């Protein structure tokens, strides 16, 4: 049941009739889509160029194992319609000028910069949010009222979301960071406080053990965190 029934009539009508663009259907995007439709937003356009990976399943609750490999935007739409069939959700690319509000949930700094500039040019309010480790932030950006995303120079990005460099690397630095991570998993020094596994004493088994160690970390331990 939509929560808009508890809102003032004028606000409830604005919510029901407003059209919202959501950019990104990841961890924050899944939660936001649920909250938007339960609040009463019925007209939502969703953009996400990524596909679902098994590593997404522990936090992006609109996706299931059977959805791996499919479009995040399309599956998110299907999942929301299962519990709120009245919602009108469309996943596609289009001009942002027709939207009353845009919500940005992407990890890429370049994508944030681009959407920020497009919203300023079209004079469309932007809600920009993101996470980094245990930290999170959300900012409202309105032309002529607040600072924009690029009003202050951003420090050079030195860390990258694991889901980005693992699933959809788009820059050479992503591949370099991921390669260094895998190299350390294969050949990094062991913790002196840990016991040595008997399997590692066998040279013929060391390669197989290392590969299994990486597989176990990426698809078992990381999903249980």
In this predicted structure, what is the pLDDT of residue 191?
A: 43
Number of Cβ within 10 Å of residue 65's Cβ equals 8
Q: pLDDT band for position 175 (50/70/90)?
A: confident
Predicted pLDDT at 15: 87
In this predicted model, which residue has the larger pLDDT, 157 or 198? 157
Task: Report the greatest alpha carbon distance in the chain.
Answer: 73
pLDDT for 215 equals 61
What span, in angstroms and rounded, lies between the C-alpha atoms of 122 and 145?
Answer: 15
pLDDT for residue 192 = 42
Q: Which carries the bigger pLDDT value, residue 185 or residue 222?
A: 185
Indicate whether 75 pLDDT > 90. yes
Is the pLDDT score of 112 beyond 50? yes
Token representation of residue 28: 């924050």
Task: Kindly indicate the confidence band of residue 222, based on its pLDDT and cuts at 50, 70 and 90.
Answer: low
Average pLDDT over residues 65-69: 92
Q: In the prediction, which pLDDT does 212 show? A: 61
With 60 as the cut, is the pLDDT of residue 84 above it? yes
Q: What is the pLDDT of residue 193?
A: 38
Which of the residue ranges 52-61, 88-97, 147-156 has the most confident prediction, judged by mean pLDDT? 52-61
Q: Which residues are catalytic?
A: 163
H or E element at residue 185:
helix 172-187
Walk across the sheet containing 101-104 and list its strands. 88-91, 43-47, 19-23, 101-104, 126-132, 135-141
Average the pLDDT over 178-191 and give the result.
70
pTM for the complete prediction? 0.54
**Distance (Å, whole) CA 193 – CA 54:** 32
More confident residue, 170 or 197: 170
pLDDT for 216 equals: 65
The percentage of the chain sitting over the pLDDT mark of 90, rounded to a whole number, equals: 28
Task: Map out the domains of the chain with their CATH numbers.
Answer: 3-141 (3.40.50.720), 162-224 (no CATH)
Instruction: For residues 109-128, give the mean pLDDT.
Output: 86
pLDDT, residue 95, reads: 61
């Amino acid at each position: 049941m939509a929560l808009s029934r508890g809102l003032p009539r004028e606000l409830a009508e604005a919510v029901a009739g407003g059209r919202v663009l959501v950019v990104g259907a990841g961890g924050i995007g899944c939660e936001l889509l649920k909250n938007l439709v339960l609040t009463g937003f019925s007209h939502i356009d969703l953009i996400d160029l990524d596909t679902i990976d098994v590593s997404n399943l522990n936090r992006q609750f609109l996706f299931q194992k059977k959805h791996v490999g499919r479009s995040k935007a399309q599956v998110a739409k299907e999942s929301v319609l299962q519990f709120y069939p009245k919602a009108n959700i469309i996943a596609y690319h289009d001009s942002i000028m027709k939207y009353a509000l845009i919500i940005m949930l992407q990890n890429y700094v370049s994508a944030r910069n681009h959407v920020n500039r497009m919203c300023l040019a079209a004079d469309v309010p932007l809600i920009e949010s993101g996470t980094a480790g245990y930290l999170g932030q959300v900012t409202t950006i309105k032309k002529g009222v607040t600072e924009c995303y690029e009003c202050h120079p951003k420090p050079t990005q030195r860390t990258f979301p694991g889901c980005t460099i693992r699933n959809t690397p788009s820059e050479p630095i992503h591949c370099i960071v991921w390669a260094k991570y895998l190299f350390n998993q294969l050949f990094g020094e062991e913790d002196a406080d840990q016991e040595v596994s008997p399997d590692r004493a066998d040279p013929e088994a060391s390669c197989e053990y290392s590969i299994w160690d990486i597989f176990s970390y990426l698809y078992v331990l990381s999903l249980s965190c």
